[in-house]
């Protein structure tokens, strides 16, 4: 795999790209890059408002597409991009990098091994003192597409589905906190699953500390995740700290991207209708549906909103 070119519309950032990577070709215009380079794949790492347009252009040029979360911001774009990728036999793949966190991978393995039994509850919490990296575009509703729901919500939405064995909620109820800005800085969500299991999500940019935690339980036991530590507690009260090799937490998690790159390459090898690609699109569809349902619920006073299903 070789990165051959970069599209960057901002002049100062084009200079930064040239300094960062030797012999890279940098384009101001995406269409010119796609026409001149004919890339095998395009990695879209722009702010969310630009994802759908860039993905559409890349698919039209015959490239596989890797998109940073969120894949896109509305259902119509999701459907059109999914249909275009299928027609072109190209991969449309969203970066779900938290699945490659050693702590969450360790938890997933324990769940898959039956340590918890039938899952009944999943709670995910993301406490942050500000938006990721302090990036100003994240608090611009036009460019960022939203606030903490976009910044951290998409991650916990696909994680919840993944940890719950691929099950998406049937409905979501949410209240969002806007504190003088233009986007939500706090979000509190409850999710109801078709089998009666419950989910809870709390997201904040206004916490006094940075913390990432989760709690899952089933008929046989409970898992607690606190930053990089994973603890399993059985129904009999036996506690086991599960081993996790993890670097200190930060906003970018560079160590996880080797796993993500391998997953993307495997998905390309299997093809757009292979199990890896289909699972990723299912997760992205559910994340987008939960995102939109949370916004609709808050606008309606916090009432539960049914999750819209996408055909994958």
Mark which of 53, 69, 97 sits at the end of a domain: 97
Q: 92 in a domain, yes or no? A: yes
Lookup: tokens for 278:
């289909």
Of all residues in the chain, what percent are helix, strand and coil, respectively (each to 5)? Answer: 40, 25, 35
C-alpha pair distances (Å), 147 with each of 132, 139, 140: 10, 6, 8
**Number of CB atoms found within 10 A of residue 299's CB:** 12
Q: 312 in a domain, yes or no? A: no
Mark which of 31, 64, 97 sits at the end of a domain: 97
Q: What is the domain extent for residue 24?
A: 5-97
In a shared domain, residues 125 and 83: no
Per DSSP, the three-state class of 249 is: coil
In a shared domain, residues 30 and 89: yes
DSSP for 132-155, please give it: GGG-GGGG-HHHHSSSHIIIIIHH
In a shared domain, residues 151 and 297: yes
- Whichever domain contains 160, its CATH number is 3.30.360.10
pLDDT digits (tens, 9 = 90+) for 20-35: 988 899 999 999 999 9
C-alpha pair distances (Å), 110 with each of 138, 153, 243, 282, 296: 35, 24, 11, 22, 35
**Residue written as token pair 């408002």:** 49
Residue spans of alpha helices (H) in the chain = 11-20, 30-37, 51-60, 75-88, 102-112, 141-144, 148, 154-163, 257-270, 275-299
Model's pTM, two decimal places? 0.95
Q: Which pLDDT score, from 0 to 100, does residue 250 have?
A: 63
In a shared domain, residues 29 and 81: yes
Tens of pLDDT, residue by residue, the chain (312 residues): 889 999 999 999 999 999 998 889 999 999 999 999 999 999 999 999 999 999 999 999 999 999 999 999 999 999 999 999 999 999 999 999 999 999 999 999 999 999 999 999 999 999 999 999 999 999 999 999 999 999 999 999 999 999 999 999 999 999 999 999 999 999 999 999 999 999 999 999 999 999 999 999 999 999 999 989 999 999 999 999 999 986 665 667 788 988 999 999 999 999 999 999 999 999 999 999 999 999 999 999 999 999 987 666
pLDDT digits (tens, 9 = 90+) for 85-95: 999 999 999 99
Q: Are strands 186-192 and 171-177 parallel, antiparallel or unpaired?
A: antiparallel
Lookup: tokens for 286:
């559910």
Q: Which pLDDT score, from 0 to 100, does residue 312 have?
A: 67
In a shared domain, residues 293 and 210: yes
In a shared domain, residues 259 and 216: yes
In a shared domain, residues 211 and 135: yes
Q: Which pLDDT score, from 0 to 100, does residue 179 have?
A: 94
Q: 59 in a domain, yes or no? A: yes
In a shared domain, residues 123 and 193: yes
In a shared domain, residues 125 and 80: no
In a shared domain, residues 93 and 182: no
- Whichever domain contains 50, its CATH number is 3.40.50.720
Q: Which pLDDT score, from 0 to 100, does residue 254 have?
A: 81
In a shared domain, residues 83 and 203: no
End-to-end CA, the chain = 28
CA distance 54 to 31: 9
Q: Which pLDDT score, from 0 to 100, does residue 137 have?
A: 94
Total domain count, the chain: 2
Q: Which pLDDT score, from 0 to 100, does residue 22 have?
A: 87
Mark which of 97, 130, 147 sits at the end of a domain: 97
Q: Which pLDDT score, from 0 to 100, does residue 155 have?
A: 97
CA distance 41 to 217: 40
In a shared domain, residues 102 and 92: no
Q: How far is CA 273 from the centre of its chain?
A: 21
Any residues with CB less than 8 A from the CB of 307 and at least 6 apart, and which? 168, 169, 170, 171, 172, 286, 289, 290, 293
CA distance 66 to 242: 32
């Amino acid at each position: 795999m070789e990165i051959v070119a970069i599209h960057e519309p901002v002049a100062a950032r084009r200079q930064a790209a040239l300094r960062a990577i030797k012999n890279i070709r940098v384009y101001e215009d995406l269409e010119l890059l796609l026409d001149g380079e004919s890339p095998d794949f395009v990695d879209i790492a722009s702010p969310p408002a630009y994802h759908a347009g860039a993905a559409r252009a890349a698919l039209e040029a015959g490239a596989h597409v890797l998109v940073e979360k969120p894949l896109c911001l509305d259902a119509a774009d999701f459907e059109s991009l999914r249909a275009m990728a299928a027609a072109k036999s190209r991969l449309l793949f969203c970066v779900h990098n938290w699945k490659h966190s050693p702590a969450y991978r360790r938890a997933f393995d324990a769940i898959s091994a039956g340590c918890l039994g039938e899952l009944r509850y999943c709670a995910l919490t993301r406490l942050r003192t500000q938006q990721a990296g302090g990036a100003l575009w994240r608090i611009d509703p036009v460019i960022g597409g939203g606030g903490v729901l976009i910044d951290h919500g998409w991650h916990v939405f696909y994680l919840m589905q993944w940890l719950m064995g691929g099950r998406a909620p049937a409905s979501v109820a949410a209240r969002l906190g806007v504190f003088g800005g233009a986007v939500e800085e706090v979000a509190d969500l409850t999710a109801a699953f078709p089998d009666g299991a419950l989910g809870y999500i709390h997201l904040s940019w206004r916490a006094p500390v940075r913390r990432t935690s989760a709690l899952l339980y089933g008929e046989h036991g409970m898992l607690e995740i606190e930053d990089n530590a994973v603890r399993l507690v059985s129904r009999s009260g036996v506690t086991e700290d599960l081993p996790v090799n993890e670097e200190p937490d930060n906003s970018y998690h560079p160590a996880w991207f080797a796993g993500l790159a391998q997953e993307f390459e495997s998905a390309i090898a299997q093809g757009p209708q292979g199990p890896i690609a289909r699972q990723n699109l299912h997760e992205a569809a559910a994340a987008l549906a939960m995102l939109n349902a949370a916004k609709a619920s808050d606008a309606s006073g916090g009432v539960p909103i049914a999750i819209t299903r996408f055909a994958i």
